[in-house]
Amino acid sequence: MKHIIVLGAQWGDEGKGKVVDIYSEFADTVVRATGGNNAGHTLVVGDEKFIFHLIPSGILHAGKTCVIGNGVVLDPRVLLSEIDKLKSRGYLQDDRQLRVALVSHILFPYHILLDRVREEKLGNRKIGTTARGIGPCYEDKAARTGIRACELLEPGVFAEKLRANLEVKNFLLKRYYGAEEIPFQPTLDEYLRYGERLAPHLADTSLFLSGEILRGAKLLFEGAQGTLLDIDHGTYPFVTSSNTTAGGLCTGSGVPPTRIGGVVGVSKAYTTRVGGGPFPTELLDEEGQWIRDRGNEYGSTTGRPRRCGWFDAPVIRYAKRLNGLNGIALTKLDVLSGLPRIRICVAYEIDGVRQEEVPLTLSGFERIQPVYRQVEGWTGEISTAREFDDLPKTAQKYVRLLEEVTGVEVTLVSIGAERNQTILRKNPFRA
């Protein structure tokens, strides 16, 4: 029985939400296991548009169970807002359809405030975070001072931990950053109410998933952010605060890697990233702006314009090596329609030496000169294609060239925002 991981193969924002939505039809249980509400998935289903930040996109499929695992840092305000919106639109009518890890770490107002004032103080050296408090929450987790969801159900334990944390956080906020303090009692009362509302969803999710595997259910793991934002393997320090690679999804869900049957990496037909950090193929000209506008490359979480550039094959080869990719789900091929010529970065040149692999240092990235192959573009609307052979010959050639330079088969091609604007070349659950 196959259990499939879907994750970002670039710098995030690759369109994982739509891919997970497509694959959810063939799965029984959909799992989110890393990150926080700094991630956003936008889905278009018929005339309806959905934006999720914490709940797995599989929630839109009737009869599927969705899980938020222990590796996620949870802002209860955001989660409860998503739950309320779904219920108001006729979804999530059974609370058992969404299970949240008892041991997931909770994000508090002081995390968000610390995130914001730190970035302000860094000035030109800022990382470019979403200012959602994700990094500071993971810091508390690593420092063993974090507060977990299960403690919201124990008022005495929660009050003691919150008071201790606020003593330190408020000292730092007021004395070092000159910011406002976070009050104890209103925060305590607010979060105890959140605990009451979340209680029907809280569970030992690792145990639940183990039971799902034993009964023969198919699991689909939904990654957050992208491989190059991994805290260990990304373009540090311009990364997120969790492990976004396949191993992180196992740790963040409590499911052993021996249970995983395949990994699909999601990649745009070009490349984008948000915030600071290296970006070898970035286009700072009219073509870059053309791709941004045509692809609506503005963050679903922050609204920030994304940086745009040509497809970067060394990045995908790196993602293949780290994650063991079995296939690529290629998104937004339609965005490139109308360009007379398209470039693909096939290698790097650093100090005059050709290099096939991604460098590990920032200084190495800063010296990169992309080595490009140029191909002919195509014109016309391709979003009505339903088979690969329906695409223009030059578009087919472009996809096959991406397979050649990355060494990974393209198993899905997305040619529009809607569910049916998808060419499923191979189903990972049946491969």
Active site members: 13, 41
Structure tokens at 358: 């991604």
Structure tokens at 427: 């189903």
Q: Which of 260, 232, 324, 250 is nearest to 71 (CA)?
A: 250
Cβ 55 vs Cβ 32: under 8 Å? yes
Q: What is the DSSP letter of 267?
A: E
Q: Which of 429, 350, 337 is nearest to 391 (CA)?
A: 337
Structure tokens at 404: 């050649």
Which residue has tokens 């189903």?
Answer: 427
* C-alpha to C-alpha distances, 208 to 198, 213, 221, nearest whole angstrom: 17, 9, 14
Which residue type occupies 320?
A: K
CA distance 345 to 296: 23
Q: Which of 4, 25, 17, 1 is nearest to 300 (CA)?
A: 17
**With the C-alpha atoms ordered 50, 16, 273, 412, is the resulting torsion angle positive or negative?**
negative
User: Which DSSP helix (H) or strand (E) runs through 202?
Assistant: strand 202-203
Residue 311 Cα to chain centre, angstroms: 19
CA geometry: angle 427, 216, 16, nearest 5 deg = 40
- Number of C-beta neighbours around residue 152 at 10 A: 24
Q: In 230-357, which ranges are continuous DSSP H helix? A: 246-251, 286-294, 313-323
